[in-house]
A = this chain, B = another copy of it.
Amino acid sequence: MLKPIGDRLVIELVQSEEKTASGIVLPDSAKEKPQEGKVVAVGTGRVLDSGERVALEVTEGDSIIFSKYAGTEVKFEGKEYLILKEADVLAVVSK
């Protein structure tokens, strides 16, 4: 198990629909495109100057969208994960 530190979270990537069958990304705009992921673990939160620890807003199981170039890839027990800071999370998706 990966237990992220502070305000970090571990996610599994969710395939984006904008790739073609051959895997080529088809950008239709110069603006940054976010990616989607599923939260598998969250840290204990960051510590404020007052000493208070702020829990993350996202929780295990959440589907999130995040900044495309954010995070660090981690391979753990044969699976690929991404470790992000909560500040890189844009929104939680509820369908």
A contacts, CB < 8 Å to B: 1-6, 8, 10, 29, 31-34, 41, 43-44, 47-52, 54, 57-58, 65, 67, 71-74, 76-77, 83, 86-87, 89-95
Given that A33-B73, A76-B93, A93-B76 are known contacts, is A5 also in contact with B86, CB under 8 Å in the complex?
yes
List B contacts of A86 (CB < 8 A): 5-6
The answer to whether B90 and A8 have CB atoms under 8 Å apart is: yes
**Identical subunits present:** 7
List B contacts of A47 (CB < 8 A): 48, 54
List B contacts of A52 (CB < 8 A): 51
User: Contacts A1-B95, A5-B86 given; 17 further ones with Cβ under 8 A?
Assistant: A1-B94, A2-B93, A3-B92, A4-B91, A5-B92, A6-B86, A31-B73, A34-B74, A34-B83, A47-B48, A47-B54, A48-B48, A48-B49, A49-B50, A50-B51, A74-B91, A76-B93
